Every structure is written in C-alpha cells, then in structure tokens.
Amino acid sequence: MLSTTQRLWLLNTISLIFLAVLIARLIDLQIIRTGYFTAIATSQRQRAAELAPSRGTIYLQEHNSSELFPVAVNNKSWIAYAVPRDMTDPLQVADALAPALLQFRERQQQHIAAILSATGQQPNSDQVPPDQPNYDDRLATLRDELYRKFNQHTDPYEPFLKFYEYLDDELYNFLSEQQLTGIKIEETTSRVYPEKTLAAHALGYVGWLEDKKVGRYGIEGNFESSLAGDLGFFSMEHDTTGQFIGVGSRQFEPATDGESIVLTLDRVIQSAIEDELKDGVTRYGAERGSVIVMDPRTGAILGMATYPTYDPNYYYAISDARVQQNPIISDIFEPGSVLKPVIMSAAIEEGLVTPQTTVNDNGPVKVAKYTINTFDGKHHGVQTMTQVLEQSNNIGMVWVGQQLGAETMYDFLRRFGLGEKTGVELEGETQNTLKEPDQWNVATVATTSFGQGVALTPLQILNAINVIANDGTLMQPYIVSRRQPSNGEEEITLPTQVRRVISPATAGDVSAMMVSVIENGVATLARVPGYYLAGKTGTAQVPDEKGAYSPDRKIISFVGFGPIDHPQFSILIKLDNPAGLSFASGTAAPMFKRISEKIINYLQIPPDYDPTKQPPKFEVGKSDQAGA
C-alpha cells in the first residue's frame, strides 16, 4: 500500500507526463506544422482571381457628325460542356441532349449557308452536305457519339460544341430548363460586330489562337495588345458565408481596359462602296473586286471594301481562308495603265515632255524580243501626251519611258511610294520590292512605262495617284483617326506629309490630262455631269503559273479623283477576271461614276458647271496655264 506521500508523488508524475504530452502536441501543431495549417486556413478564407479587362470598342464616323458608331463591341455569351465524372447515368444524359444538339447543329449549318450566300462565297465540298441520312439515323449517330464522350467516369471535361460556337437562345433555354446532370453552362465574353459585314476586311475579327482569344487581321490584329488591355489581380479574405471581410488582408490590382479606336472610315461611304462593289462583281462576273476611297489631301482612308466578303461575327463561315485577307494591302498585281499618270508625271517633272509634246504612233513597236501594241490594236498617228493618256496608248508610253530611262523611272517610282509598305495601321500588309535599276533591261523600261512587269498593292497605287491630286505631295495613308485609352488622354492622328514628289505645276498638268481621259478619252462612261473628275482606266494581264501572261485572265481597274479644283475624294476600283471581253472603260469606269455620284451627293459638293447644259469642250492648256 502506498503512503500518502508516495501517492501524491505518483499523481504529480502522471500530471507532469500528461502536461508534457500536451505541450509537445501544441509545439507540433503551432510551431513545427504551422505552415501547413496556415496554408489550409488561408485557402479556406482567401479568394484570389485574375480580373479580365474589357476589350476596346472600334468606332466609325460620318461626315459632319460627331456621333460615333460602334462596329466592334463586347457581349456576354454562353458556352456549354460536359463533366462526365459528375454523371451517374451518361446514357440518359446523351438521350436527353442529342435531339436539342442535333437541331442546334442544323441551325448552325443553315446559318453558315446563308452567310456564305450573302457574302458572295461559294460553299466548298466540306460545306455542301452529301445526301444526308434521315433524321432518326442522324439522331442515333449523335447519341452514340455523345455516349462515347460521356461514358468516361474520371473525365472532368468533355466539350460537345466546336471551340468557336456559342449557345443560341434555343439551346441555352433547353439546357437551363433541363438542368442535365454533368452538363455545365458557363458565361463568357464574345466579340460582336453589330454592322455585320460592314468594313469586315478593315476590322478583322477576334478568333482563337491555341487556347487564347486574339485579334486576327485588320484593326483587331494590328492593335491586339492595346485593344485587349491588361489583366488585373484580386485577393481578399471572406467569411464562412462567402462575404468579403472589409478589414481582412487584401490585394487589388485593377484591370486596365483596352483602348477604343475611332477609324477614318466613313460609315455612309463604306456602305455605298460595298453595295456598288457587290453589284459590280455580280454584274460583270468577276472573281473578286476591291474598292478604296481616300481623302487625297490628308491620306485618310474613307472606305475600303472587298467582295466576296465575310461576316466577322461568324468568321468561321468561309469557304476559303483567303476571303479573310485584305487584298487591298496584301495582294500585289501588275497595275497596267493606271500607272501611266505616274510615269507621265515623272517625265513632265523632268522637263522631258509637256502635255502638248507629240509622238508618232504608226503601229506596233519592237523592244528587244517583244512586240508592243495598243490595247485595242488601233493606231492614231501623231498623238500628244494628253492623247496618249486619253487613248491609253502603250506605244506612246513606251516612248515616254525611253525618254526617262531606268534610273530616273525607278527613282520616281520610289518617290511616289511604290515598292515599299505604306505603313497603314492594318495587319497583313505585303512588302513588295522593285527591281534595282541595274537589273532593268530595255524591255523592263518599256513594260514598266505602261504598268506591266511591276507588282504593287492597290493601296500603293491609289496613294501614288493621290500625289497628283494633292499638288505633288505624298501623304502617309492612315485608317485610325483617334485612340481613346481607358485611363489616359485621347490621341488624335494628324495627317503626315511624307515628301514632295512633283511640283504643283506638274500635278496640275497631269490632273488636267486625267480629266481629259474622262471628258475626251476612253473613260467617258466615268463622267458625272456637272463635275470635272480625273480618271484613268487600266486593263492588265495576269501571269500564269509558268510566268507567261495568260490570255484568259486579266485585272480591270480604274483610278480617279475629284473634283479637279479641290479634290475631296480619290477612288480605286479593281475587278479580278471579269467575264467576257471586258475592258475597264465598260466596267470599272461606270462603277466609278456611280460611286462618285453618291460621294458627291453625300459630301454636298457643288458642281463645276451647270449639268443641265452642254458642257464646254475640255482642253488641256499649255503647261504654264491652268487646266482647260
């Protein structure tokens, strides 16, 4: 039997041991493993997320209006996907989903077909469905496909829509009502173009690159980083109900929204040229067509259209990826006779010729191994330089080119901005090059003088013609009028003079000669009664795969500006391979007239003479006199 003292000692010992264990456990929990439990506690009460910025809006303007018209904005859309590991009965889900999904896919196919038709595209073989099995067979096939996807018990994610598809109202309502197990609906942000196909090639679209949305082509592509903005970060403690604790620790870095961009494109002019272009391509049976309208005094692009086009809202509804490219800046072609005013300007500027200088056209000429003839095979004897342009006489131009020589001609082509990128703010501009003059031979000089043997983009050509309209000064073409950062001052683009190319006198002479092309020459169908407009036709041959010129393919073009006293617009029209024996004088020239009439009415430009009366005979004066 233990004594009292011994019992007390035993009790003390046991208590000390118990206390030691308790202290050891506390040390373990609160000191040794403090990091582990702190992390658990933090994860329970801390919520962190990236803050997505809003993509900037793109606007168009109208003449004499301060109103801005959004053409690229953001919208909330819905996507859906499956989580097979949450499904208890994948077959039942597949059975329920298949009919609605089949109808959704059929609606999508019909919508794509409608878009292809409206945008002038021909569906390719993948888009023309073969003879389809009946509805029940298609439904059974889809059900099996869905069941195969859903019958994976550990799979956390299985898409059943294409990566670019969003739910339409019907499918969204169905999924919301049915609440199918394992089917998740998620809100996301999509890019919407309220004006649909308007200015599609200038805008570009927002598509997918790997797993990220990025702008492609046009303004969306060129300004991707500034339109997208910067991500923000947010971290804050919350209580058990999910409410944020105001006095808790927090980190907050706000997202920077993307900047908004206002384009120089005029909404009315853009719509007018798209309508005319669609009509012209259809009427003349061309493979493709393009129209550009610019303000020659500033270099601002007022309209830029290509047909066939596409709808950026459904950028995947295309039959050929080429339709998304902007040929106005990316396609090079041999311009043909529309380059003649540039060559003539160089010769007049160098003092080699005047508008009244004559040349003898008695028939085809041989240059090296080549025989050069007029486009219509006609020869008119003694011709002035003005008449050479009026009749688009290749023989006269060859003579002018020979007066200039390779070095001078090359020099002027470069001074007119040809053979280099214009630097316009659009993604996809092609860099073309001109052969150095030491690589030219006599044939190169001859063919270049009437626009063959040199490859340029439509924008380069019109920008060069603008030099003539703008009293001899080359301007920097631009399409962005203003940039509006979300947290900064607005930046306005000012017109930029690149350099003086020719003198105002030379520009005046060539302008008058180009007016004579419309008033007295082959382009009379381009005349707008009451107005003196300058213009030049072009019919260029197209090389085939072997490098020789194809007898069947050609590019028709027309370039012009007006009114002559104070040019407010310049236009280039290009048609690829119009059907039949068509020349620019009968195709592109009338298109120029219709577009010019609309622009003149829109800009309210008063006439140069009374259109109801017989116009006076237009004659190009001597080089020290102004116009006619």
360 binds other proteins (CB under 8 A): no
* Sole window of 191-199, 201-209, 325-333, 442-450 interacting with other proteins (rule: CB under 8 A): 191-199
192 binds other proteins (CB under 8 A): yes
- Helix-strand-coil split of the chain, %, nearest 5: 40, 25, 35
C-alpha dihedral (314, 424, 267, 570), degrees to nearest 10: -130
607 binds other proteins (CB under 8 A): yes
Place of tokens 């005349």: 527
Judged by CB, which is closer to other proteins: 33, or 47? 47
Judged by CB, which is closer to other proteins: 71, or 372? 71
232 binds other proteins (CB under 8 A): no
What spatial distance separates the first Cα and last Cα of the chain, rounded to whole Å? 141
Burial 571-589 (b: 16+ CB within 10 A, else e): bbbbbbbbeeebbbbbbbb
Interacting positions 238-267 with other proteins (CB under 8 A): 243-248, 267
Cβ 576 vs Cβ 550: under 8 Å: no
* Sole window of 83-91, 190-198, 215-223, 587-595 interacting with other proteins (rule: CB under 8 A): 190-198
**Tokens matching residue 449:** 């003088």
Interacting positions 68-87 with other proteins (CB under 8 A): 69-71, 73-76
606 binds other proteins (CB under 8 A): yes
* Member of 198, 400, 446, 523 binding other proteins (CB under 8 A): 198
601 binds other proteins (CB under 8 A): yes
Judged by CB, which is closer to other proteins: 5, or 243? 243
Cis geometry, peptide bond prior to residue 578 (ω within 30 degrees of 0): no
Closest contact distance (angstroms) between CB of 54 and other proteins is: 9
Number of residues counted as binding other proteins (CB under 8 A): 23
Judged by CB, which is closer to other proteins: 195, or 224? 195
Amino acid at 364: P
Interacting positions 391-420 with other proteins (CB under 8 A): none
Closest contact distance (angstroms) between CB of 591 and other proteins is: 18
**Tokens matching residue 270:** 């853009």
By the 10 Å C-beta count (0-12 exposed, 13-18 middle, 19+ buried), 520 is classed as middle
Which segments of 213-252 does DSSP mark as H helices, in order?
218-222, 224-228
Judged by CB, which is closer to other proteins: 113, or 236? 236
**Tokens matching residue 98:** 């298949």
Judged by CB, which is closer to other proteins: 194, or 504? 194
Closest contact distance (angstroms) between CB of 606 and other proteins is: 5
The string of DSSP codes covering 484-550 is E-TTS--EEPPP-EEEE-S-HHHHHHHHHHHHHHHHHSTTGGG--TT---EEEEEEEEEE-TTSSEE
Q: What gap in Å lies between CA 559 and CA 577, rounded to an integer?
A: 17
Closest contact distance (angstroms) between CB of 47 and other proteins is: 11
Q: What gap in Å lies between CA 559 and CA 573, rounded to an integer?
A: 6
**Tokens matching residue 284:** 């003349």
Closest contact distance (angstroms) between CB of 601 and other proteins is: 5
Closest contact distance (angstroms) between CB of 243 and other proteins is: 4
Cβ 338 vs Cβ 456: under 8 Å: no
* Sole window of 93-101, 237-245, 348-356, 534-542 interacting with other proteins (rule: CB under 8 A): 237-245
Closest contact distance (angstroms) between CB of 309 and other proteins is: 13
Judged by CB, which is closer to other proteins: 250, or 499? 250
Q: What gap in Å lies between CA 74 and CA 183, rounded to an integer?
A: 26
* Sole window of 19-27, 65-73, 368-376, 384-392 interacting with other proteins (rule: CB under 8 A): 65-73
Instruction: Kindly report the number of other CB atoms within 10 A of residue 25's CB atom.
Output: 10
190 binds other proteins (CB under 8 A): no
Residues that bind other proteins (CB under 8 A): 69-71, 73-76, 192, 194-196, 198, 243-248, 267, 271, 601, 606-607
